[in-house]
Amino acid sequence: MYPGAQAVAMLQPTQGNATAGTVRFEQHRHAVMVFARVTGLKPNQEHGFHVHEKGDCSSPDGMSAGGHFNPTGKPHGHFSGTERHAGDMPNLRADANGVAETRFMMTGMEVGTGGATDIVGKGLIVHVNPDDYTSQPTGNAGGRLACAVIQKS
């Protein structure tokens, strides 16, 4: 199946951190394929990874990106469930060198449609801790290591 609209996010480290990377999003019918390569993570650890409500990385700590992207008003939850934020994605798993490479399909979000769940223009955050997928409203993922604005490509 050929992809439809595409977007990219260039992660830049927040103040005092070294996390960076590139994340691509491709619309495939009713799902979005996500491709990520992120460096500068804590080796052999998981890190929360979410789309956030604001495409604003101007603050040194990444807090200007706001909370999780949640246009449908659902509770935070596991990325495979239906009761979750549109921005709730799987944790990134770093290898022994602090590099995470992954790809996965997401439902509940769109690329370039202009609809309520469109992620273009939203923020993308890599967190210090793993998402526990249950704590409200953010999965207890902690501080922000890197921030990006998702842009249509």
Annotated active-site residue 28? The verdict is no
Annotated active-site residue 68? The verdict is yes
The pairing of strands 31-39 and 151-152 is: unpaired
Annotated active-site residue 30? The verdict is no
Q: Which residues pair with 46 in a beta bridge?
A: 93
Annotated active-site residue in 24, 47, 50, 84: 50
Cα–chain center distance at 11: 10
Annotated active-site residue 50? The verdict is yes
Annotated active-site residue in 47, 76, 84, 118: 76
Backbone φ and ψ for 59, nearest 5 degrees, come out as: -85, 145
Annotated active-site residue in 24, 88, 118, 131: 88
Annotated active-site residue 78? The verdict is no
Annotated active-site residue in 24, 47, 84, 144: 144
Annotated active-site residue in 24, 47, 52, 84: 52
Q: Which residues pair with 88 in a beta bridge?
A: 50
Asked whether 69 and 21 are in contact (CB, 8 A), the reply is no
Annotated active-site residue in 68, 84, 118, 131: 68
Coil/strand/helix, residue 65: helix
Annotated active-site residue in 24, 47, 84, 127: 127
Annotated active-site residue 88? The verdict is yes
Instruction: Tell me which residues are annotated as active site.
Output: 50, 52, 68, 76, 85, 88, 127, 144
